[in-house]
Structure 1
Amino acid sequence: MAEADQHSNSSSEPLLPNMIEQEEKISQECRDIISSLPREEGWFHESIYLFQGFWEPAWLIQGALEFQKHFKPRDDDILLVTTPKSGTTWLKAILYATLNRSNFPPNSHNHPLLTNSPHMLLPYMEATHQGDRIDGMASPRLLFTHLPYSALPESVKHSSCKIVFLCRNPKDNFISLWHFANKIRPKTLGTLSLEEAFDKFCRGVSPVGPFWDHVLGYWLESLKRLEKVKFLKFEDVKDRPVATLKILAHFIGHSFSQEEEANGVIDNILSLCSFENLSNLKVNKEGELPDTNIATGAFFRRGQVGDSVNYLSSESIKKLDSIAGKKFGPYGLKF
């Protein structure tokens, strides 16, 4: 199990820096790079740029460059990767509770998840300066990124660290992303209409998108390297939570013992990390994430499968299904 100071790292430098402040600290090197990149209006930002095949704001491009150049992985690192709004908050909590269950039993009254947003417990690699803080984390380190596989540091690809990837049905992912964008967009950008967001998503202009390439990259790598990349779908985690958690724990090298299963540890983790429990905790519904301008409640909406039918026309559903079929079908990936 991870040592107790896995959690203590969350109390020093913020894991999610203020986006506005970060935009003001862009290095000249990064400014020179983005000056020649394709640009579009972002979902959360005034501008996003096509960098190494994916769309990001300038401050996350700078973070990605630092991550790529300087990160030194350990073989027992665990890197959680998600497409934005695919169940990120949920899986962060599940992985944290699973990895730290010896030091913080999931049914304890002082569990870190009761008083900390899951987003504050895992360093967000392209939004966090590495420094001594991450280097000083106890092993195994639980880390997080939204980067596509192609943009991960070469050091990560060639190490033995584990990668857990989570994605979601593109229709539900799109609707969740659209709602989230309108919760956190600066007022100066106005409301992002469903029609405009849909056009962007289909064209691939979405946060860390194209969504299609992001998902396919990890899918193909998981087929080639089963021991390194675990590919998960939000829908499967929802449908088979106990079985999925057991598989996940085994994959990261922290399987549940028969005694733990008999004592209800798995059920306790799933209860602690359930949408109902997390969304109703004071820390996840009042105020903002420390040192950010994001309301904690923005990360929780419905957490359901199939909600997109309440927003998308039959024509829009057919279009997304058609794109998914063309992009994923030849490789055996279905949602």
Structure 2
Amino acid sequence: MNPNEPHNDQEIIVHDEEVEQLKQGLPKTMFLNKIELEKYQGFWYSFNTNMLKSILMFQRHFQARDTDLIIASFPKTGTTWLKSILYSVVNRFKHPIKQSPLFSNHPHELVCCLEYDIYRDAFEYPRPHHLNELPSPRLFHTHFPYMTLPESIKVSGCRILYITRNPLDTLVSMMYFAMKPIKELVGEDVELPSIEDYFEDFCEGKFINGPFFEHVIEYWKQSLEQPKKVLFLKYEDLKKDPILHLKRVGEFVGMPFTESEEREGVIKEIIEFCSINNLKELEGNKSGVINKIYDKKSYFRKGEVGDWTNHNITPAMVEKMKKLMQEKLEGTGLSFQLLPH
């Protein structure tokens, strides 16, 4: 039985009774004192959107191909940028930049998120995205930590590109991104959480898909143990030397850039096309929503390293974050750059 083919309801449905029974035993907390989170396999989720059912469906029924390429990330760490880069690198012969589907399609529409696009609201299966009909290499994305991924991803030859970002820029980006859904959840008249609220919850690990450092370290360790399986990328490094890291992406996915492509400026063309300033001006990103909630244009704000300095993050908060980074990352060989060099 191929898990990616449509089946009858009895074969594929995760029943609500099972989900509710599992939910009852999960630890709970509040995010920003407004949104209930529940902890599953060590990480926090908001299960009021049917996410637990999505996780169970994803874990039990997704069958990875050896040729699959999967972007993994903590929210607001450069996912949209990497989606546009990966799509452009993989499809550069089929769709040269001047003919790119990215002109009219948001990156999240071209590189589907497994838990939100494929397995969300599992009772509606089969989803519009018929996985067995997609040509190889299939491009997917997930915000799930490594431990939560289906076993087929871990044991197959598929490859994972993980992107991360310094924690202060991550929480600032999340603060802006979450404004609209929080207003819809708690009402327009309710005072929005402050940056101090986000900071405290972030440091305590009470973040959607958090804790942040544990999420990052899982993939970092896998990239050291399985360098052909997991490519670990930092947002700040991509900004500093995009040519070098686009070459790394090309090599990793088995589509290295040739010398003639370098001479012809193909790499630079992809970098310029996939820049945040360019992407936000494309028609496919100016209007409409993703997942019925998020404005397409909200995925393109600034994209600057060190933008957190433009917000009310105090020296005491910076010092606390530095100590937390030292504590969490000690002995891993991993570090973060808070400001551009």
Q: TM-score, normalised by structure 2?
A: 0.86
CA distance in 2, matches of 1:320, 1:125: 31
2:69 matches 1:78: yes
> Where do residues 213-292 of structure 1 align in structure 2 (5 Å cutoff)?
213-289=214-290, 292=292
CA distance in 1, matches of 2:294, 2:281: 17
Secondary structure of the 1:86 match is coil
Work out whether residues 69 and 253 of structure 2, in 8 Å CA contact, stay in contact via their aligned partners in 1: yes
Residue 326 of structure 2: aligned partner = 325
1:62 corresponds, among 53, 77, 93, to 53
Residue 52 of structure 1: aligned partner = 41
Residue 171 of structure 1: aligned partner = 168
Q: Identify if the C-alpha distance between structure 1 residues 193 and 235 changes in structure 2 by more than 3 Å, giving closer, same or farther.
A: same
Shift of 1:293: 2.0
Shift of 1:40: 2.5
Residue 141 of structure 1: aligned partner = 138
Work out whether residues 286 and 295 of structure 1, in 8 Å CA contact, stay in contact via their aligned partners in 2: yes
Shift of 1:47: 2.4
Residue 3 of structure 2: aligned partner = none
Amino acid at match of 1:61: L
CA distance in 2, matches of 1:94, 1:201: 28
Residue 19 of structure 1: aligned partner = none
Secondary structure of the 1:280 match is coil
Q: Identify if the C-alpha distance between structure 1 residues 88 and 43 changes in structure 2 by more than 3 Å, giving closer, same or farther.
A: farther
Q: Identify if the C-alpha distance between structure 1 residues 328 and 208 changes in structure 2 by more than 3 Å, giving closer, same or farther.
A: same
Secondary structure of the 1:331 match is coil
Amino acid at match of 1:30: V
Count of paired positions = 308
Give deviations 1:42-93, integer Å, cap 9, x for gaps: 4698322111111112222221111111111111111100110001111000
Shift of 1:137: 0.6
Shift of 1:285: 2.5
Between 1:185-194 and 1:220-229, the stretch displaced more is: 185-194
Q: Identify if the C-alpha distance between structure 1 residues 305 and 88 changes in structure 2 by more than 3 Å, giving closer, same or farther.
A: same
Amino acid at match of 1:47: E
Q: TM-score, normalised by structure 1?
A: 0.87
> Where do residues 111-150 of structure 1 align in structure 2 (5 Å cutoff)?
111-127=100-116, 128-129=118-119, 131=126, 133-150=130-147
Amino acid at match of 1:307: D
Structure 1 unaligned spans of 5+: 1-24
CA distance in 1, matches of 2:333, 2:243: 25
CA distance in 1, matches of 2:179, 2:229: 36
Shift of 1:214: 0.1
Residue 92 of structure 1: aligned partner = 83
Shift of 1:175: 1.1
CA distance in 2, matches of 1:253, 1:84: 27
Shift of 1:287: 2.9
Work out whether residues 31 and 201 of structure 2, in 8 Å CA contact, stay in contact via their aligned partners in 1: no
Amino acid at match of 1:126: E
Residue 7 of structure 1: aligned partner = none
Q: Identify if the C-alpha distance between structure 1 residues 146 and 26 changes in structure 2 by more than 3 Å, giving closer, same or farther.
A: farther
CA distance in 2, matches of 1:67, 1:255: 31
Amino acid at match of 1:76: T
Secondary structure of the 1:269 match is helix
Secondary structure of the 1:237 match is helix
Work out whether residues 44 and 186 of structure 1, in 8 Å CA contact, stay in contact via their aligned partners in 2: no
Residue 155 of structure 1: aligned partner = 152
CA distance in 2, matches of 1:293, 1:138: 29
Shift of 1:28: 3.0
Structure 2 unaligned spans of 5+: 1-13, 120-124, 337-341
Between 1:90-99 and 1:121-130, the stretch displaced more is: 121-130
Between 1:277-286 and 1:98-107, the stretch displaced more is: 277-286
CA distance in 2, matches of 1:45, 1:295: 22
2:31 matches 1:30: no
